[in-house]
Amino acid sequence: MSCSGKDRCDTLAAFLEAGEIPGEFDPGTYADKWADGRPVDGTAADCLGWSTIIPAFRTAGLRLTDEGELAWGDLRCLEAAAAFLEITLEQAEATFDSLDVPSGTCGRQIVARRIRELVKEIE
Which structural domain, as residue segments, surrounds residue 76? Answer: 5-122
Residues of the chain with pLDDT under 50: 1
Residue 44: beta bridge partners?
24
0.85 exceeded by pTM: yes
Distance between CA atoms of 31 and 119, rounded to whole angstroms?
Answer: 25
- CA distance to 14, 86, 103, 110, 112, per residue, from 106 (Å): 15, 26, 7, 6, 10
Task: Give the per-residue pLDDT at 99.
Answer: 67
Number of domains in the chain: 1
Would residue 118 be called left, alpha or beta, if left means φ above 0 and alpha means ψ between -120 and 50 degrees?
alpha
